Structures are given as C-alpha cells and as structure tokens.
Amino acid sequence: MIEFREDQPKWQQVAQAIRERIAAGAYRPGSRVPSENDLMQEFGIARMTAHKVMRALREEGAIYTVRGMGSFVSPPGGTEPPVVHTS
Amino acid sequence: MIEFREDQPKWQQVAQAIRERIAAGAYRPGSRVPSENDLMQEFGIARMTAHKVMRALREEGAIYTVRGMGSFVSPPGGTEPPVVHTS
DNA sequence: AGATATTTGTTCGTATGTATC
DNA sequence: GGATACATACGAACAAATATC
C-alpha cells in the first residue's frame, strides 16, 4: 500500500508506482498489468482514478490496452502493435 | 471554437452556443447533444464548467439528461417525460 | 447458442479544494 | 462574501469487448 502525500495527486502517485514496477521488471513486456479493479483494491482508489492512471501510462507508451482483456506492458521498442489473438 | 468574451462567464457563453444549435436544428428533438466530455474538448473548458452548462439547459427545459447515457434535446412540447427504450 | 463474469470505455452526479475576481 | 473556473476524487450507471462455462 502507498501512503499518499498531500502535495501530489493520487493518480500521479499510483502511476509512478506502476512505472517503477515496470522499470524494475516486476511487470514484464507483454504481460498483463493490474486491472483497474486491482488498482482500486490495492491502492484504495476509485475506479475513475484508476482509469486515469492507466490512460496516462497508455499515452506515454508504457502500456497498451485491449478492451475486455486488460492492459499490458509495451515491448521495449515501443510502438509495435499488440499481438491480438484472432484464432 | 469560440473566442470567449471577458464580459460574460464562459458557462453562459457555451450554453448560448448550444441553445443556438438547438434553435437552428443542428441538434434535433430526442437526439443526443454533446457530452460534458465533448464540451470540454470543443470549448477547452473544465468538466465542472461543462456540467454547469448542461445543468442550466436542463433547468430551462431545453434538454433532459439520463445518467450513463447523455443529454438529449427536449421535445417541442417541453416537459413530457423522456422516452426510455425498455425493449 | 446462451448465460455469466471480467474488463475497459464512457456517461452523468456530487463534493472538495484552490485560485481569482 | 459571492461567483467563476480549474483540478482532483469519489460514486453510480450504462455500454461493449472478451473469455469461460
């Protein structure tokens, strides 16, 4: 759990926590990151706040998202299209 | 986009813009009007300001709103309850 | 085929805090 | 004090995509 500081928005602090886990290799390229529901539970935040976190990470290219599936760590390169199972 | 005047609140100017579009028939009775998010984007305003716009239009009967769905142009009569699709 | 659960996308409703005028 | 305007953050509801059973 995080002790939220007063001087920075929750959504930024959570986003930073996820960034650090990716950088540390806790979440590896192509693997799923916690769902918005997971983030709600773990950090005690509202779903819209979790959504804002994921949107920020998505916009900076750290993750990509598939509706109904979840979000995944982007490959090191950065912009390769996600592997979508079409079978 | 709008060039906001200094002599009048933003939320009133945006509300007037929407009123004019309804009057002009750009938004027809029963059809959806732009969401608060749309208004944020188009006019470059905060969500709370967009909300204030919609509340004003709702209170004067120009639109009606359904949570989770959006806002819609009121029928010409004025105060008939909205048609909800239950099928 | 159908039902259910999970997950993300989007919508509105509300409250609080900050800053400015 | 009041009104405006912004950002943050909570809640609630509806929608659509995906997966599983």
**pLDDT for B9-48, tens place per residue?**
999 999 999 999 999 999 999 999 999 999 999 999 999 9
> In strand D, which positions have an atom below 7 A from any protein CB?
3-19
Number of structural domains in chain B: 1
Q: Is the CB of A47 under 7 A from strand D?
A: yes
| Residue A14 pLDDT | 98
- CATH code of residue A30: 1.10.10.10
CA–CA separation, A58 and A55 (whole Å): 5
Residue B37 maps to a domain: yes
Angle, alpha carbons A64-A65-A66 (nearest 5°): 135
Q: Is the CB of A75 under 7 A from strand C?
A: no
CA–CA separation, B51 and B11 (whole Å): 9
Nearest residue (CA) to C1' of C12: B67
Residue pLDDT tens, chain A, 87 long: 788 878 899 999 999 999 999 999 999 999 999 999 999 999 999 999 999 999 999 999 999 999 999 999 999 876 555 555 444
Contact A55, A47 (CB under 8 A): no
Domain interval for residue A54? 10-74
Residue B23 maps to a domain: yes
Residue A5 maps to a domain: no
Nearest residue (CA) to C1' of C15: B48
Residue B29 maps to a domain: yes
C1'-nearest nucleotide to the CA of A67 = C8
| Residue B56 pLDDT | 98
| Residue B1 pLDDT | 77
pLDDT beyond 60 at B83: no
pTM comes to: 0.87
Residue B44 maps to a domain: yes
> In strand C, which positions have an atom below 7 A from any protein CB?
6-17
pLDDT beyond 70 at B84: no
Residue A27 maps to a domain: yes
Task: Report which of B84, B22, B83, B14 is spatially closest to residue B55, judged by C-alpha positions.
Answer: B14
Q: What is the pLDDT of residues B45-76, one digit of tens each?
A: 999 999 999 999 999 999 999 999 999 999 98
| Residue B77 pLDDT | 75
Q: Which of B5-9, B45-49, B77-81 bottoms out in mean pLDDT, i.e. has the lowest?
A: B77-81
Angle, alpha carbons A12-A1-A21 (nearest 5°): 60
